[in-house]
Structure 1
Amino acid sequence: MAIIPTLTLNDGNTIPQLGYGVFKVAPAETERLVLDAFEAGYRHIDTAAIYGNEAGVGAAIAASGIPRDELFITTKLWNDRQAGDAPLAAIDESLEKLGLDHVDLYLVHWPAPDNGNYVNAWEKLIDIRESGRTRSIGVSNHLPEHLDRIIAATGVTPAVDQIELHPAYQQREVTDYAAAHGIKIESWGPLGQGKYPLFDEQPVAAAAAAHGKTPAQVVLRWHLEEGEIVFPKSSSLTRMRENIDILDFELTPEEHAAITALERDGRVSAHPSEVH
């Protein structure tokens, strides 16, 4: 089985740099696909309350027989649970569905700034971490202005920020902020969600041919070399295995730079100010 590299978070915990994401995985299919991911060698699973498939992830964990300390499980707080003490109830509901007494990482899913509750949500995540129900805490889709507010209010810096990131949309303002504050970046939609012809881009196709890899493997390798945490989603065991088979080659500096140069402010999903 591949030895997946880990990164050390700003709280001292470690996180596998490559995992399996279950965004848009049907609840009825989740147990089977997560078990396939375990078979392929993944030990880091990324889910969320809003995905509706935490119970399937939990069923796969229970059926796998894999020791808990070998797994890294992430879930997320949805926007309508940010106010008051709702985050405390939300984590308990997620843990019950997952069949766990703690997760490894709990995230505020979106800042939902028009709702005005994301600072409160962050304060409650700190309480949740202190209670032992999660080992690490972080955020998703937070921009520098959101990060500034929660850090100023609490003195606690998120361990990660999970953001849309792929070669056409690299969010350098966010990644530069994260690097300056010791926040690790998790890339969602790392292959652009199939919404533009990323695999046909000349630097991607050329690197794939040069290394005998698929274009997807080249792009995922680029993410790892950028120092990002990435969890591609696939419903195919063969593709899961391909996605994890990216540890036996390196892009040349020229290949890496050419993929980085594909940036064109090409967001393919919602802006954080628009999700509530």
Structure 2
Amino acid sequence: MGDIQTLTLEFDVEDMEKLRTDYLDLMLLHQPFGDTYGAWRALEELYREGKLRAIGISNHYADRMVEFANFTSIKPMVNQMETHPLNQQKTLKEWADKYDIRLEAWAPFGEGRNGLFENEVLKAIGQKYGKSTAQVMLRWHIQRGVIVIPKSVHKERMIENLNVFDFRLDENDMSQISQLDTSTSAFFSHQDPAAMVEWFVKMVEKRKSQHDSSKEKKNW
């Protein structure tokens, strides 16, 4: 599986010309599977060359993150994990802070699952400040020191997502949101051998096969 990690890395670097840039701000090692250390050494090399301004990991639980921080030449600068009010990653955040690794949220709204946008606690806090539940969640992430990059294809929501710097949640607000934590994924566990690990192995094999076929066509 190390081959596919390297393949993806090379593809992204070659595509810098299409992006009209000489460097990328951040590249993440997406999964804690396969030849992660080999892939990480490739990222370190690109970082030293200045082609990457920051390197990090994704979907690495606290134990794997701490391992990476101690057994690499350049420790991860970011760990991207599912983080939202119903799965707050409190323990992971504590360990990330200890090793000066920034926690970045993927699915910062939990994709609205489990009625998160209609959550009564978040709605009440939003009404107090004249903000939406989405804005409350973004402000909560920011005040926790979590990197958050919300995704939307709607202009009005993009504007709304940026409009979160004119208010601040108080201690009671933060405490109420803290109590919403279920410490349970709204999607799947990356530690599940059947739902995630075996699925990833199959995906890697498929992509390797497609890559080999593409190379054969070019050589032909």
* TM-score when normalising by structure 2: 0.81
Question: 1:169–1:80: structure 2 CA closer, same or farther, 3 Å change rule?
Answer: farther
State the Cα distance separating 1:87 from its structure 2 match. Answer: 5.8
State the Cα distance separating 1:88 from its structure 2 match. Answer: 5.2
Whole-angstrom CA distance in 1 between matches of 2:2 and 2:109: 25
Match of 1:209 among 123, 127, 134: 127
CA contact (8 A) 1:137 1:159 kept: yes
Bigger relative contact order (CA 8 A; separation at least 6) = 1
Match of 2:20 among 72, 84, 99: 99
Match of 1:4 in 2: none
CA contact (8 A) 1:79 1:111 kept: no
Amino acid at match of 1:262: L
Q: 1:76-108 CA deviation, whole Å, 9 max, x = no partner?
A: xx98632xx546523323423423210011111
Q: Which runs of 5+ in 2 are unaligned?
A: 201-220
Report 1:81-120 matches (<5 A).
81-82=4-5, 86=7, 89-112=10-33, 115=34, 117-120=35-38
Q: How many residues align?
A: 194
Structure with the greater alpha carbon radius of gyration: 2
2:102 corresponds to 1:184? yes
Match of 1:199 in 2: 117
State the Cα distance separating 1:183 from its structure 2 match. Answer: 0.4
Report 1:214-225 matches (<5 A).
214-225=132-143
Range moving further from structure 2, 243-252 or 98-107:
98-107
Report 1:10-159 matches (<5 A).
81-82=4-5, 86=7, 89-112=10-33, 115=34, 117-159=35-77
CA contact (8 A) 2:86 2:181 kept: yes
State the Cα distance separating 1:235 from its structure 2 match. Answer: 1.2
2:195 corresponds to 1:247? no
Question: 1:185–1:271: structure 2 CA closer, same or farther, 3 Å change rule?
Answer: same
CA contact (8 A) 2:69 2:99 kept: no
CA RMSD of aligned residues (A): 1.9
State the Cα distance separating 1:122 from its structure 2 match. Answer: 1.1
2:105 alignment partner, SS class: strand
Match of 1:35 in 2: none
Question: 1:165–1:157: structure 2 CA closer, same or farther, 3 Å change rule?
Answer: same
Please identify which structure carries the higher strand content.
1
Match of 1:262 in 2: 180
1:142 alignment partner, SS class: coil
Give the percent of matched residue pairs that are identical in Structure 1 and Structure 2. 35
2:25 alignment partner, SS class: strand
* TM-score when normalising by structure 1: 0.66
Question: 1:209–1:80: structure 2 CA closer, same or farther, 3 Å change rule?
Answer: farther
1:124 alignment partner, SS class: helix
Q: 1:7-58 CA deviation, whole Å, 9 max, x = no partner?
A: xxxxxxxxxxxxxxxxxxxxxxxxxxxxxxxxxxxxxxxxxxxxxxxxxxxx
Amino acid at match of 1:151: A
CA contact (8 A) 2:66 2:95 kept: no
Amino acid at match of 1:207: I
